[in-house]
């Protein structure tokens, strides 16, 4: 297993720059998830590590050795494709043994390694079938088995669960995590699904337009987004973001007809900033009460999404709408009068011009 | 599984089957004619109306393979009894088999022409499909400057009617000593089929997902190894189809073979009709030669039928 360093990597496709000065260190045994929208550069970064894509400039080091000019076959890493990419003319056993044939391992050892990895991934009974006879989940297990069988330096996965249905995706997610804990392999995983990222990652790397936005543990990325892109991209439902004006100790959302009062220490870092500000509050930071309460504003419910474990309630405050997360059944219907407050400790202030978070929530 | 059908639809269905049968019979009639003539006694070959019922004979095939001459007088009793069964068939037709001074049976021109056809068609097919596959792979997988123009240029070689270049080709071939050689025809047919092979194979290789090779590349294989271990087996269907088409073209080619060859490297297509010209033609011999000539293409296509039928949708790629 290995540490991977990415240093000042740039990548152009013609005139289009898809990776802009990327720097990242992935520790030995770490599970890193690259998260971003499609076209954000995450797959290109992964393919650059694998050697399937050359970099325009910069260095990629695996265990301290520069590999950016080495062929994919000389980097000793494994890659799991979204399409699984199982060879249709080979049986499952031949597919898994294929990387071992490249290093000319003898037949006995090869069989042993294949059986072992098939056992771990619970595909032993499919070894003599063709991939086309397998279910989607089993195909993915075979793809992972093929990647793991020769114990590579690192395991790279490009949206490996992207084509599976929701239920199977959840199951395979748990299996990948279990496998990672058992094998401790350095893993880099690309996805656009933030739930996948949150549940799998030791650290999440968020890429947008080829620029690294934030690197951090899942809770850190969720609780302390460094900028508006991360704040909006991570978390479901999306964070409430509104233009805001600060007057004394009060905070007035754009379009709202009343202000929330905020404690001094929360506003200290943003007071006097010349920039236009936006306030970000996740639905759980929007607190609702049935009765008029001190510090709460009078609002009306406009839409309710009952999700079983909790409800997402839209409330109207003047011309603006906030989404709040409540206990399920807290509000019985649309058009109700309730009282709302923002939890100052869970709110963020962003500079609307740069998108930067001026005050991380505590 | 069968969908519900109304009586009207059933009638339409039956009518369709009947019309398909009729069309099939029309298309198969010439082949039946050739096949039946190849087994007819000579005197029944040209009767009007055609003889449908007859006792099949093997004598046309014996005559096809042997050099014969007219008998001036019927063979003597001993001569006839000493002859093997097939030679008696020739005697029955009023001819005798020509033997060399040492008594060896002289073969007709047909077997060597047939061999020439096999040599030229097989070699040029292997060359055209092989080079075509490599070229198509290059165009399919790498960024080639002016790719579209180059591909169009390759195809444009097919737009020129071959007869236009026949005379210049003949003069050039004569100048370099390639006329009436196997190599000459092989080069000609390979060049002729190559453009077609490149275009067909490019279509098939484009269909093979790049990820297959990329998976092999990260698994420790070189691009060459990935090509042979992954791309070629996956392209087997396309290679089979392309090979069948190239083989048919090379096997059936007539005009260039007629112009470029006369003896040593002559293929069967110009040879078979040349027999019609000399004297009173023996249609049964010509029919038997034609029938044998039909077989290689039929056999080749039959052998590759599984590959031809197997769809490309066999893969375990999820899109």
Options 3.40.50.300, 1.10.10.10, 3.20.20.450, 1.10.287.80; CATH of A4-225: 3.40.50.300
Is the model's pLDDT at A207 over the cut of 70?
yes
Contact by Cβ (8 Å): B269, B185: no
- Digit-coded pLDDT (tens) for B57-74: 888 888 888 888 887 778
Query: In this predicted structure, what is the pLDDT of residue B317?
Result: 41
Q: For residue A213, what is the enclosing H or E element?
A: strand A211-216
What mean pLDDT do residues B162-175 have?
Answer: 89
Among candidate residues A89, A53, A94, the one with its CA nearest the CA of residue A70? A53
Domains by residue range for chain B, with CATH: 59-97 (no CATH), 110-309 (1.10.3720.10)
Query: In this predicted structure, what is the pLDDT of residue B305?
Result: 82
Is the model's pLDDT at A309 over the cut of 60?
yes
**What is the least distance, in Å, from the CA of B308 to any CA of chain A?**
16
- Digit-coded pLDDT (tens) for A88-112: 889 999 999 999 998 888 899 999 9
Is the model's pLDDT at B1 over the cut of 80?
no
Contact by Cβ (8 Å): A35, A42: yes
Q: Does A50 touch chain B (CB under 8 A)?
A: yes
Is the model's pLDDT at B313 over the cut of 50?
no
Label the pairing between strands A186-191 and A31-35: parallel
Query: In this predicted structure, what is the pLDDT of residue B15?
Result: 94
Give dist(CA A89, CA B35) in Å, integer: 40
Is the model's pLDDT at A323 over the cut of 50?
yes
Q: Does A168 touch chain B (CB under 8 A)?
A: no
What mean pLDDT do residues A204-221 have?
Answer: 94
Residue of A nearest to B209 (CA): A85
Query: In this predicted structure, what is the pLDDT of residue B311?
Result: 45
**Residue extents of the structural domains in chain A:** 4-225, 240-359
Query: In this predicted structure, what is the pLDDT of residue B279?
Result: 67
Is the model's pLDDT at B280 over the cut of 80?
no
What mean pLDDT do residues A245-254 have?
Answer: 87
Is the model's pLDDT at B319 over the cut of 70?
no
Query: In this predicted structure, what is the pLDDT of residue B217?
Result: 92
Residues of B in contact with A67 (CB under 8 A): none
Label the pairing between strands A347-351 and A277-281: antiparallel
Mean pLDDT of chain A: 90
Could you say which of A72, A88, A134 has the minimum Cβ distance to residue B218?
A: A72
Q: Which CATH architecture group holds A240-359?
A: Beta Barrel (2.40)
Q: Which of A43, A44, A88, A138 best tests the B interface by mutation, with the highest count of B CBs <10 A?
A: A88
Q: Does A291 touch chain B (CB under 8 A)?
A: no
Using 50, 70 and 90 to split pLDDT, how confident is the model at B278?
A: low
Q: How large a percentage of chain A has pLDDT more than 70? A: 99
Q: Does A160 touch chain B (CB under 8 A)?
A: no
CB–CB of A88 and B316 under 8 A?
yes
Residue of B nearest to A88 (CA): B315
Assembly ipTM: 0.81
Give dist(CA B236, CA B304) in Å, integer: 10
Q: What is the three-class DSSP state of A190? A: strand
Is the model's pLDDT at B106 over the cut of 90?
no
Tokens of B44: 């029944």
C-alpha to C-alpha distances, A332 to A281, A309, A323, B133, nearest whole angstrom: 23, 15, 16, 68
Query: In this predicted structure, what is the pLDDT of residue A83?
Result: 87
Query: In this predicted structure, what is the pLDDT of residue B54?
Result: 84
Give dist(CA A195, CA B306) in Å, integer: 46
Using 50, 70 and 90 to split pLDDT, how confident is the model at A190?
A: very high
Is the model's pLDDT at B307 over the cut of 80?
no
Q: For residue A100, what is the enclosing H or E element?
A: helix A92-102
Query: In this predicted structure, what is the pLDDT of residue B135?
Result: 95
The residue behind tokens 């399919």 is B140
Using 50, 70 and 90 to split pLDDT, how confident is the model at B315?
A: very low
What mean pLDDT do residues B206-219 have?
Answer: 91
Main-chain dihedrals φ then ψ at residue B68, nearest 5 degrees: -125, 160
Rg for chain B (alpha carbons), in Å? 26
Query: In this predicted structure, what is the pLDDT of residue A47?
Result: 93
Query: In this predicted structure, what is the pLDDT of residue B277?
Result: 61
Q: Reply yes or no: is the peptide bond before residue B49 cis, omega within 30 of 0.
A: yes
What mean pLDDT do residues B144-168 have?
Answer: 88
What mean pLDDT do residues B183-195 have?
Answer: 93
- Those residues whose C-beta lies under 8 Å from the C-beta of residue B267, and which sit 6 or more positions away, are B113, B116, B117, B120, B121, B185, B253, B257, B261
- Burial (CB count <10 Å: 0-12, 13-18, 19+), residue B309: exposed
Q: Does B52 touch chain A (CB under 8 A)?
A: no
Interface size A-B, in CB pairs within 8 Å, comes to: 83
Q: Does B210 touch chain A (CB under 8 A)?
A: no
**What is the least distance, in Å, from the CA of A108 to any CA of chain B?**
20
Q: Classify the phi-psi angles of A33: left when phi > 0, otherwise alpha if psi is within -120 to 50, otherwise beta.
A: beta
Could you say which of A73, A85, A134 has the minimum Cβ distance to residue B220?
A: A73
Tokens of A82: 């979204």
Give dist(CA A301, CA A127) in Å, integer: 57
End-to-end CA distance of chain B: 28
- Digit-coded pLDDT (tens) for A271-286: 777 778 899 999 999 9
Q: Does A171 touch chain B (CB under 8 A)?
A: no
Is the model's pLDDT at A362 over the cut of 50?
no
């Amino acid at each position: 297993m290995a540490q991977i360093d990415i240093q000042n990597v740039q990548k152009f496709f013609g005139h289009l720059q898809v990776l802009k000065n990327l720097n990242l260190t992935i520790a030995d045994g770490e599970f890193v998830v690259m998260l971003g929208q499609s076209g954000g550069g995450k797959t290109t970064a992964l393919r650059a590590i694998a050697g399937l894509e050359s970099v325009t400039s910069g260095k990629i080091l695996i265990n301290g050795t520069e590999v950016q000019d080495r062929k994919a076959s000389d980097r000793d890493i494994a890659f799991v494709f979204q399409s699984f990419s199982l060879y249709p003319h080979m049986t499952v056993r031949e597919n898994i043994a294929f990387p071992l044939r490249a290093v000319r391992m003898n037949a006995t050892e090869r069989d042993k390694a294949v059986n072992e990895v098939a056992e771990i991934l619970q595909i032993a009974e499919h070894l003599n079938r063709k991939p086309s006879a397998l279910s989607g989940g089993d195909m993915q297990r075979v793809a992972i088995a093929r990647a793991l069988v020769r114990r590579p330096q690192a395991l790279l996965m490009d949206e490996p669960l992207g084509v599976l249905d929701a239920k199977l995706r959840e199951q395979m997610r748990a299996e990948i995590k279990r496998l990672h804990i058992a094998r401790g392999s350095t893993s880099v995983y690309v996805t656009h699904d933030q739930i996948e990222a949150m549940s799998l990652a030791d650290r999440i790397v968020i890429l947008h337009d080829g620029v690294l936005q934030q690197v951090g543990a899942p809770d850190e990325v969720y609780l302390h987004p460094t900028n508006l892109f991360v704040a909006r991209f991570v978390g479901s439902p999306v964070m409430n973001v509104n233009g805001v004006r600060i007057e004394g100790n009060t905070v007035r959302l754009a379009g709202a007809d009343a202000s929330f009062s905020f404690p001094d220490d929360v506003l200290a870092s943003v007071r006097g900033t010349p920039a236009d500000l936006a306030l970000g509050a996740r639905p759980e930071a929007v607190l609702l009460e049935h009765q008029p309460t001190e510090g709460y504003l009078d609002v009306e419910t406009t839409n309710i999404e009952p999700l079983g474990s909790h409800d997402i309630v839209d409330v109207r405050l003047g011309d603006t709408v906030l989404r709040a997360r409540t206990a399920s059944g807290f509000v019985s219907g649309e058009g109700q009068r309730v009282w709302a407050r923002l939890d100052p400790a869970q709110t963020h202030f962003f500079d609307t011009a740069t998108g930067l978070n001026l005050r991380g929530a505590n | 599984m069968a969908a519900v059908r109304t009586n009207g639809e059933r009638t339409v269905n039956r009518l369709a089957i009947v019309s398909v049968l009729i069309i099939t019979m029309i298309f198969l009639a010439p082949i039946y004619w050739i096949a039946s003539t190849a087994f007819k006694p000579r005197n029944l070959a040209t009767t009007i109306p055609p003889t449908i019922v007859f006792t099949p004979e093997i004598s046309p095939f014996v005559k096809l393979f042997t050099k014969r001459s007219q008998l001036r007088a019927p063979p003597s009793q001993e001569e006839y009894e000493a002859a093997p069964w097939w030679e008696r068939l020739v005697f029955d037709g009023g001819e005798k088999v020509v033997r060399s001074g040492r008594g060896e049976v002289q073969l007709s021109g047909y077997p060597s022409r047939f061999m020439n056809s096999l040599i030229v068609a097989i070699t040029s097919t292997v060359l055209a499909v092989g080079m075509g596959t490599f070229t198509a792979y290059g165009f399919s997988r790498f960024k080639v400057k002016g790719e579209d123009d180059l591909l169009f240029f390759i195809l444009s070689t097919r737009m020129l009617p071959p007869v236009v270049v026949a005379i210049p080709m003949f003069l050039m071939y004569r100048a370099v000593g390639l006329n009436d050689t196997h190599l000459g025809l092989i080069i000609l047919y390979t060049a002729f089929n190559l453009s077609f092979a490149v275009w067909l194979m490019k279509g098939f290789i484009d269909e093979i997902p790049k990820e297959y090779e990329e998976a092999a590349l990260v698994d420790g294989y070189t691009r060459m190894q990935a090509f042979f271990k992954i791309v070629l087996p996956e392209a087997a269907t396309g290679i089979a189809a392309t090979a069948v088409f190239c083989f048919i073209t090379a096997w059936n080619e007539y005009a260039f073979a007629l112009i470029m060859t006369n003896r040593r490297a002559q293929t069967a297509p110009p040879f078979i009709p040349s027999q019609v010209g000399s004297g009173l033609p023996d249609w049964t011999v010509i029919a038997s030669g034609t029938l044998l000539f039909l077989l290689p293409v039929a056999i080749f296509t039959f052998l590759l039928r599984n590959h031809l039928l197997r769809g490309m949708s066999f893969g375990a790629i999820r899109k």
